[in-house]
Amino acid sequence: MALHMTRTPRTEDATVDVFASVLSEHVLPKYRMPDGHTPAPAVYSMIHNELLLDGNAAQNLATFCTTWSEDEVHRLMNECIDKNMIDKDEYPQTAEIESRCVNILADLWHAPRAVGAEAAATGCSTTGSSEAAMLGGLALKWRWREARRAAGQSADRPNLLCGPVQVCWEKFARYFDVELRQIPLEPGATGLRAHQIAMYADENTIGVVAILGVTYTCDYEPVAEIAEALDRIQAEHGWDIPIHVDAASGGLVAPFLHPEVVWDFRLDRVVSVNTSGHKYGLAPLGVGWVVWRSADRLPEDLVFKVSYLGGDMPTFALNFSRPGGEIIAQYYLFLRLGREGYRRVHQACADTARHLAGQIAAMGPFTLLYDGQGALPAVSYTLTDPEGAGFSLYDLSDQLRMRGWQVPSYPLPADRETTVIQRILIRHGISRDQTALLAADMRRALAHLTAGSPAAAAERTAFHH
C-alpha cells in the first residue's frame, strides 16, 4: 500500500507554495482515486510538469497534425468547451457553422451545384479522417449492395481496392466486413498506379480509394488516371466502380498549391472525399470532414434524422457527443486565411521543405526521394549506401531525438519494404530558422555516428601525417 495518510493531514491553504504542498511530497496516485480534494494550482502544476515529458509538439516532424494555433483559436476553443455539436437543437449556430464548412469544402472541391432535380453536395464533420473514411466506406458498401440486390445478385463478398493506405482503411475493412485488396507498390512508384487496377477489380468491388497525399511518400495518387482506368473497366465489363478520395492531407493543400491537379469532384467517378481539418486544414486536433458529390450518393438508411429548430437535421456519424470547438475553429481558419492565406501558409512550408531538402542532399550520405514540390510540403530521403554508411536511419532518428527532434524512419509498404526512408513534414509553425537548427543537429549527429567508421579513420590518418 502506498501513501498512508495516517498523520493528521496538514491544513492546506492557498498561500502554501505548490512545491511545499502535501501533493508534491508524493508520487501522484496511479491506481486509486485519492480520498480528498487538493487545491487546483497544485494539481495543475503537477500534471503540467508531468506532461513536459511528452516532448515538444513543435519538434515533432513526424505528424501531419496541427501543432500551432493563433490565440484567437485558443480563445474560441475555450469559449466552445461546453458545446456539444450533436445537440443541434441546443446549439443551432454550431450546426449552422458546420454546414457552412461543408459547403465551403464542397465548393473548394468543385462539387456540381444543384440544378433542377439533381441534389446538391452533402457532408458532415467527423473526429478526423478515420471516422470520415468509415462513413465514406459505408456509403460505398450500401450503394453497391443496393445495386446488387436490385439486380438480383449476391451481395455478400464486397471488396475495396487501394494502394498503400493509412491504417484507417484496414480498420474499415475489418470492422465492416469488406475485403481490402491492397495493391502492392510497383518498383519506383510512390502510390497506386492506374494500370494496376484492372487485375484486382471485379463485380464485387465497392470502390477504389485513391489517396491525395500518401502517408509513406507524401505523393498524390493519379486520381484522374485511375478514373480513366475505371471507365475502361466499365466499358469492358459493365461494372460501375466509384472512387472515394482519401484527401486527409492533400484535400487542403492541392486546391491552393496545385489547382491544376484534377483529383476532385471535377471527375464524375469521384463520389466522396474526406479530409482532416486538423492536418493542412490548420484546425486544432479533433476535426475531419467527408463530402459526397450529391445527396443521393449517401444512402438514406444510413442517415438518422434528429429534430432541429423545428425541422429535421440529418446526422451521419459514428460518435454521438463530440466537442463543437474544433468545427468553430475550422470556420475561423477558413474566414481568417481565405484562399490566399492558405496558399501563402502552405507555399511557405513547401519553400522551407525545398530549402531543407537542399541542405540534406549536401550532407553526403543521403539520396533525396522527395523535396516537397508537387504534393505535400515534406522532405524524404534514404541512405545511398545503407550497407556501407556505418549507421542506419534508425540510429540517426535516435541521435536527433536526443535534441528533441522527432524524425521518423520506417520501411516503405509492400513490396518495397526493404527500402527504409526518413520523412520530415513541414507544416504551419515550422520556420526556416527551425529547419536550419535541425540541419545543424543532423550534421552533428552524422559526425558522431560516423566517427568510428573506416572513412572517418582514413581522414584522421591523413590529418595526422
Ligand X SMILES: *Cc1c(COP(=O)(O)O)cnc(C)c1O
Question: Which residue number, 216 or 391, has a Cβ lying nearer to ligand X?
Answer: 216
| Spatial separation of the C-alpha atoms in residues 120 and 308, rounded to whole Å | 20
**Which 277-316 residues touch ligand X, going by CB under 6 A?**
288
CB of 133 to ligand X, least distance (A): 6
What CA–CA distance (Å, rounded) separates 162 from 381? Answer: 24
Contact status: 217 vs ligand X (CB under 6 A) = no
Binding residue count for ligand X, defined by CB under 6 A: 14
**What's the residue count for the chain?**
465
Query: Nearer Cβ to ligand X, position 255 or 365?
Result: 255
168 touches ligand X (CB under 6 A): yes
Smallest separation (angstroms) from ligand X to the CB of 247:
8
Asked if residue 223 lies in contact with residue 245, where contact means CB atoms within 8 angstroms, the answer is yes
Which range touches ligand X (CB under 6 A), out of 174-182, 220-228, 241-249, 347-355?
Answer: 241-249
All three cell numbers of 125, joined, read 464533420
Please state the closest distance from residue 244 (CB atom) to ligand X, in A. Answer: 11
Q: What is the maximal distance between C-alpha atoms in the chain?
A: 90
CB 211 within 8 A of CB 94: no
Residue 276 contacts ligand X per CB under 6 A: yes
> How far apart are CB 194 and ligand X at their closest, in Å?
18
Asked if 246 is part of the footprint of ligand X (rule: CB under 6 A), the reply reads yes
Comparison of 276 and 397: residue with beta carbon closer to ligand X: 276
Q: 351: burial class by Cβ within 10 Å (0-12, 13-18, 19+)?
A: middle
Q: Which three cell numbers stand for residue 342?
A: 492558405
Residue 447 DSSP SS3: helix
Q: Are 365 and 383 in contact (CB under 8 A)?
A: yes
**64 binding ligand X? (CB under 6 A):** yes
In the list 211, 245, 345, 376, the residue contacting ligand X (rule: CB under 6 A) is 211
Please give the Cα distance from 254 to 264 (Å, whole number).
10
396 binds ligand X (CB under 6 A): no
Rule CB under 6 A: is residue 136 a binding residue for ligand X? no
CB of 248 vs ligand X, minimal distance in Å? 3
Q: Is 121 in the site for ligand X (CB under 6 A)?
A: no
Stretch that binds ligand X, among 97-105, 207-215, 229-237, 382-390 (CB under 6 A): 207-215
Backbone phi, psi, residue 162, to 5°: -165, 170
Write a three-state SS string for 128-171: CHHHHHHHHHHHHHHHHHHHHHHCCCCCCCCEEEECCCCHHHHH
| Burial grade of 368 (CB within 10 A; 0-12, 13-18, 19 or more) | middle
Please tell me whether residue 215 binds ligand X under the rule CB under 6 A.
Answer: yes
248 forms part of the interface with ligand X (CB under 6 A): yes
In this structure, the number of other CB atoms found within 10 A of the CB of residue 10 comes to 11
Choose between 274 and 450: whose C-beta lies nearer to ligand X: 274
Under the binding rule (CB under 6 A), the answer on residue 125 touching ligand X is no
Least distance from C-beta 73 to ligand X, angstroms?
18
Q: In angstroms, how far is CA 48 from the centroid of its own chain? A: 26
Tell whether residue 425 is a contact of ligand X (CB under 6 A). no
| Candidate residues 123, 128, 251, 324; the one interacting with ligand X per rule CB under 6 A | 128
* Distances from the Cα of 436 to the Cα of 46, 379, 414, 442, angstroms: 34, 14, 34, 10
Evaluate whether 403 touches 453 at the Cβ level (below 8 Å).
no
Position closest to ligand X via CB: 128
Cβ 241 to ligand X shortest distance, Å = 20
Q: Which is nearer to ligand X, 46 or 245 (CB)?
A: 245
Binding part of the chain for ligand X, among 103-111, 208-216, 395-403, 445-453 by CB under 6 A, reads 208-216
Residue 57 CB, shortest distance to ligand X, in Å, is: 15
Q: Which residues bind ligand X (CB under 6 A)?
A: 64, 128-130, 166, 168, 211, 213, 215, 246, 248-249, 276, 288
